[in-house]
Amino acid sequence: MKKQIPVIGIEMHCELKSKAKVFSRASNAYSEIPNSNIALLDLAFPGTLPVVNQKCVEDSLKVSLALNCTQPEYIYFDRKNYYYPDLPKGYQITQMSEPVGVNGKTEIEVNGNLKEVLIHDVHLEEDAASLDHYFDTSTIDYNRCGVPLLELVTEPCFHSAEEVLAFLEHMRRIYQYLDVSEADTKKGQIRCDVNVSIRDIDTEELGTRVEVKNVNSFSGVVDTINYEIERQTKLKEEGRYNEVEQDTRRWDEETQKTVHMRSKVDAIDYKYFVEPNIPKYKVTQEWLDKLKEEIPRLYLERKYDYINNYNLSNYDASILVKDRDIADYFEECLNLGIEAKTASNWITTQIMGYLNKEERKIKDIFLTPKRLKDLTDLISKGTISFKQAKEIFDKVLMEQKEVKEFVKEDNAQLSDKEELNQIIDEIINNSPNQVEQYHNGKTNLFDYFVGQVMKNTRGKANPVLTKEILKEKLDK
Ligand code: ADP
Ligand code: MG
């Protein structure tokens, strides 16, 4: 058999952040109590009418812009008609004919290489209620009914589970940077339909795809893809490829297998038509321009900026851009004039260590960039050592007081040039042997002299200044 190439396309649903639902005033806050966030519209009471939540439209347009999509001339919605108990109206309001974005593309990093991902479309729609099935009963929770959902459909442009995982993480990061969703899989905010097929290496023609519905974790998506590639390849090897008929399946966590749900012989006819209760309205250039201004620099751009213009390592830059608030904090430090590598070191080690330990967010940290600047200034001026700075760092956070409160006279560094000059002259005069050996090429004796200065000053000599003076005197 010829070598097989996997082909994968993803439909990613992500719940958007907003106070209210997408067409009703019910709260969109996560609630543990079933059926507590409901408006009459969500239950399809007669006479109720949908009102578009403008924030959801704007957030969707931001995603569309960030993914380099084409935006529609008008915003309007379509009805997708079908009956299911989780959909009391008998139809879902979605966007079929004019999504908020079409024909986009975005670059992701896979294993250090850039890959372009093609976006078929992004569209705004409402979520359905959630059903739970027990032994002989099913329960329904309408809290999710009407929750704003952004669906993103990629072209079949992935060739491995690894690429898809990189893409999902990329999207999660973009949603968080745009502040349109927490994109938290643990809260069920992201669900994916995973389309997988295989094809012979020497053809462009796509194979028959299998669609696996509603996979709700990234690891589930990876397992689904790998499982399907193996299953389909095996069927092809055994000459049973016709069994990979257009098939709709689901991922079963327990058995770690995909299982058949229904066959997808013909496309279901949802009898789409334009939602008549929502008048269409224009997407003006001014509106798009305003939204563009609200889009922050995204993570990859920042990452390359930190590497190329601030000489940070790929590793450090990657850590800094993982979370937008951390990246913002870092950039504020740069604006205040803290040296990039210094700021990066403090953030990736001390600050993130503290945040992890205390389970806090950087937005709430008492040590603002301004206070970090106070601290790093003291080190670069030689008033305190790095070791002392770390102690002060802990105290500032613990006692929530200004940095200067912890810089005491007696533990300040000795940075007086005159005084250091004198001490060093004395040491050099008292060590003629070492000086001679040093001049004869035993340059590692330099550390011996540094040690002598430290001994003489009980460790308080400013090390940077000490080395500077020593170099000057010994090398002249
Ligand atoms: P629907 O799921 O409504 O039938 P489409 O036919 O447009 O919608 O396909 C949806 C998803 O399936 C897209 O993400 C697309 O990239 C993917 N897809 C289409 N054909 C294939 C294929 N042969 N192999 C893998 N994925 C595919
Ligand atoms: Mg589909």
CATH number at residue 428: 1.10.10.410
130 and 37 within one domain: yes
Tell me what pLDDT residue 412 has: 66
307 and 391 within one domain: yes
Number of domains the chain contains: 3
- pLDDT 10s per residue in the chain (476 long)? 889 999 999 999 999 999 999 999 999 998 889 999 999 999 999 999 999 999 999 999 999 999 999 999 999 999 999 999 999 999 999 999 999 999 999 999 999 899 999 999 999 999 999 999 999 999 999 999 999 999 999 999 999 999 999 999 999 999 999 999 999 999 889 999 999 999 999 998 999 999 999 999 999 999 999 999 999 999 999 998 888 887 889 999 889 999 988 876 666 789 999 999 999 999 999 999 999 999 999 999 999 999 999 999 999 999 999 999 999 999 999 999 999 999 999 999 999 999 999 999 999 999 999 999 999 999 988 788 898 899 999 999 999 999 988 887 556 677 778 888 999 999 999 999 999 999 998 888 999 999 999 888 878 888 888 999 999 998 87
Structure tokens at 39: 């408006």
Q: Which residues neighbour 120 within 8 Å (Cβ) at sequence distance 6 or greater?
A: 9, 102, 103, 153, 154, 155
CA of 364 to the centre of ligand 1 (A): 43
256 and 364 within one domain: no
* Domain-terminating residue out of 364, 384, 406: 406
Q: Which of 378, 385, 8, 376 is nearest to 199 (CA)?
A: 8
Q: Which of 287, 272, 301 is nearest to 71 (CA)?
A: 287
Tell me what pLDDT residue 409 has: 57
186 and 132 within one domain: yes
Residue with CA at minimum distance from ligand 1 atom 1: 267
- How far apart (Å, rounded) are the C-alpha atoms in residues 275 and 273? 6
355 and 327 within one domain: yes
- How far apart (Å, rounded) are the C-alpha atoms in residues 320 and 372? 16
379 and 278 within one domain: no
- How far apart (Å, rounded) are the C-alpha atoms in residues 251 and 393? 48
Tell me what pLDDT residue 455 has: 86
Asked whether residue 246 is domain-assigned, the answer is: yes
CA of 136 to the centre of ligand 1 (A): 35
Q: Which of 404, 423, 400 is nearest to 470 (CA)?
A: 423
- The number of C-alpha atoms within 13 Å of 383 and in the hemisphere containing its C-beta is 14
Ligand 1 atom index nearest CA of 196: 25
12 and 85 within one domain: yes
Provide the domain limits for residue 222: 4-288
361 and 235 within one domain: no
Tell me what pLDDT residue 265 has: 62
- Please name the amino acid found at residue 126: E
Using most ligand atoms within 8 A of CB, pick from 80, 195, 212, 248 the residue to mutate for ligand 1: 195
CA of 246 to the centre of ligand 1 (A): 11
Protein residues whose CB sits closer than 6 Å to any atom of ligand 1? 7-11, 153-156, 195-197, 206-207, 209, 211
Tell me what pLDDT residue 238 has: 93
Tell me what pLDDT residue 391 has: 92
Asked whether residue 412 is domain-assigned, the answer is: no
CA of 147 to the centre of ligand 2 (A): 19
